[in-house]
Amino acid sequence: MSGFELIRRIFGNEHGERRAVPRSGVPKEAHILVVDDSPTIRAVLGKMLTQDGHVVFKAADGESAIELARSELPDLIFLDIVMPGMNGFAVLRALRREALTHDIPIVMISGNLQATEQFYVQRFGADDFMKKPFGRGEVFARLQHLTQSGRLVVRPRESVPVAAAEPALSADEQAAIPDIAMPDPQDLVPPPDETT
Instruction: Encode the chain (196 residues) as per-residue pLDDT tens digits.
Output: 455 454 444 444 433 334 433 445 778 899 999 999 999 999 999 999 999 999 999 999 999 999 999 999 999 999 999 899 999 989 999 999 999 999 999 999 988 877 666 666 466 688 888 888 899 999 999 999 999 999 999 988 876 554 544 556 666 666 666 666 655 555 555 544 544 4
Structural domains for the chain: 26-153 (3.40.50.2300)
pLDDT confidence of residue 114: 74
- pLDDT score recorded for residue 184: 57
pLDDT at 159: 60
**How far apart (Å, rounded) are the C-alpha atoms in residues 109 and 156?**
27
pLDDT at 24 (0 to 100): 55
**What is the pLDDT, as a whole number, of residue 14?**
39
Q: Contact at 8 Å (CB) between 72 and 103?
A: no
pTM of the entire predicted model: 0.72
Say how far apart CA 60 and CA 152 lie, in whole Å.
23
Q: How much is the pLDDT for 196?
A: 42
What are the C-alpha distances in Å from 38 to residues 20, 51, 159, 182? 28, 20, 29, 10
Q: What per-residue confidence (pLDDT) applies to 128?
A: 87
Distance between CA atoms of 142 and 152, rounded to whole angstroms?
Answer: 10
pLDDT at 111: 85
Beta pairing class for 180-181 and 134-135: antiparallel
Residue pair 42/80 in contact (Cβ under 8 Å)? The answer is: no
